Amino acid sequence: MENVVIVRYSEIGLKGKNRIVFEKRLINNIRDCLKKNKVKYEKIDRLRGRIIIFTKQKLNCLKYVFGISSFSLALKLESDVNEIEKAVELIIKERKFKTFRVSAQRLNKDFSLTSPEIERTIGSFVCEKFNKNVSLKNFDLEIDIEILNKAYVFTERVKGLNGLPVSVEGKVVSLIEDKNSLLASLLIMKRGCSVIPVSLKKTDINLIKKFAYGFEPELIIIKNIKEIDNIAKEHDARAVVVGQTLKNFKELKLKTMVLRPLIGFDKKLNNLIFNFL
């Protein structure tokens, strides 16, 4: 058995023939995240539908990497029922709980048992070994098992930000004027774009940097709005992002296309900011 972190994604899985491009970009961004947070790891494997990071750490920094739906610290072992039982015992023997449930996913169809059969087998083992009760709805502990190239056993899923990996959809210029502009930048990053922040004055862009894995944002100070067209052309940026809503909408005299991600979020801005903070 060995400790790994298993990473899941959702939207990338819908990309068809381009899926491998999105997966490799996500792995690149994960590597950048681990490097910037000084995390030690042995290697990263790409499986169909999963990314496996060989490390003993929980990697909470992955919560800030766009493209990840969830991740778990897990035990990796041979796809054998007896080995899975040993792993389950090792993980839960120090845990305090009265009720539990087992959730299994058999992504590798070569494994002899189906997902429901795995759940029943391991559920019976835990009942007999620990004298606990199964509860499918009101449970204290959930035991997860995923069958891929090997078996992976874990008890926790950390929610990610979803979306697409940053930089997979090219660059945009982001006009930073206030906190709404920062939020607009994060939303466009969630759709796979890297941002080039510009401002008419010195501005704090640490919130953007917090999520900037896969690129290095540096603030560009401009004297007037018209300079944005030249910056966009110089950096091959496809659009300009602004933090305008319906309340403060205004036309910008630019040749570059203008995107307004917050245009429909007037009443939900505080909730959106909270989600990122």
- Delimit the domains of the chain by residue range: 2-159, 171-276
All residues at 6 or more sequence positions from 267 whose CB lies less than 8 Å from its CB, including other chains: none
All residues at 6 or more sequence positions from 272 whose CB lies less than 8 Å from its CB, including other chains: 183, 187, 265
What is the full DSSP assignment across the chain? Answer: -EEEEEEE-SGGGG-GGGHHHHHHHHHHHHHHHHHHTT---S-EEEETTEEEE--SS--GGGGGSTT--EEEEEEEE-S-HHHHHHHHHHHHTT---SEEEEEEEE-STTSSS-HHHHHHHHHHHHHHHH--EE-SSS-SEEEEEEESSSEEEES--EE---SB-TTTT-EEEEE--SHHHHHHHHHHHHBT-EEEEEESS----HHHHHT--SS----EE-SSTTHHHHHHHHTTEEEEE----STT------SSEEE-TTTT-GGGHHHHHHHH-
Q: Matching CATH topology for 2-159 and 171-276?
A: no
pLDDT band (50, 70, 90) for residue 19: confident
Mean pLDDT value of segment 253-260: 93
- pLDDT tens digits for range 227-256: 999 999 999 999 999 998 888 888 899 999
In angstroms, the CA 64 to CA 162 distance is 10
In angstroms, the CA 119 to CA 101 distance is 8
Pairing state between β 70-77 and 99-106 = unpaired
In angstroms, the CA 164 to CA 128 distance is 44
CATH architecture of 2-159: 2-Layer Sandwich (3.30)
Answer whether residue 14 shows pLDDT above 90: no
pLDDT at position 8 is 94
Residue found under tokens 């305090």:
96
The tokens for 24 are 């490799």
Mean pLDDT value of segment 42-54: 92
Q: What CATH number belongs to 171-276?
A: 3.40.50.620
Residues constituting the chain: 277
Answer whether residue 12 shows pLDDT above 80: no
- pLDDT tens digits for range 53-100: 999 888 999 999 999 999 999 999 999 999 999 999 999 988 899 999
- pLDDT tens digits for range 112-126: 899 999 999 999 999
Find the radius of gyration of the CA atoms of the chain.
Answer: 23
Cβ-based neighbour number of residue 87 at 10 Å: 23
Answer whether residue 277 shows pLDDT above 60: no
Amino acid 191 reads: R
pLDDT band (50, 70, 90) for residue 171: very high
In angstroms, the CA 155 to CA 146 distance is 11
Question: Of 159, 173, 157, 193, which Cα lies nearest the Cα of 29?
Answer: 193
Q: How many CA atoms within 13 Å lie on the side-chain side of 230? A: 7
Instruction: Output the pTM of the full model.
Output: 0.89
Mean pLDDT of the chain: 91
Contact in structure between 192 and 165 (CB atoms under 8 Å): yes
Contact in structure between 149 and 47 (CB atoms under 8 Å): yes
Answer whether residue 142 shows pLDDT above 90: yes
